[in-house]
Structure 1
């Protein structure tokens, strides 16, 4: 999104805010993220602060094997 203000973006894994105003949420902990990611299903909520529109996407790209393969490094 060309004119997206990333300093207004918030991201949640279920009830855990992981990104606040474009950076790591002050209260986020790896333990909280790990707890959510261990659940069989999670909701990722991304707030772009651009109005009331919303959409839903279903995916299976976070399978155990996918996460295991990619858990050894961070980008």
Structure 2
């Protein structure tokens, strides 16, 4: 497996995990149509989870862009 394929696989796994997490958070916030009684602590935890997922996705995207640029420059 090429280095690019390994990195794409890693980032794909991270993004897929983030999508599951965001779907769960959306449901907890009422998207599923059910009423969830969240405490202040729960809400604080959700805020931290959303920020962590956002940061992870941003870092993954930036790393993937950097690797793609390196591969592109080597191909030229």
Interval containing the TM-score (normalised by the shorter chain): under 0.3
Higher helix proportion, which one? 2
Q: Which has the larger radius of gyration?
A: 2
Higher relative contact order (CA 8 A, sep 6+): 2
- Could you tell me the TM-score, scaled by structure 2's length? 0.23
Higher strand proportion, which one? 1
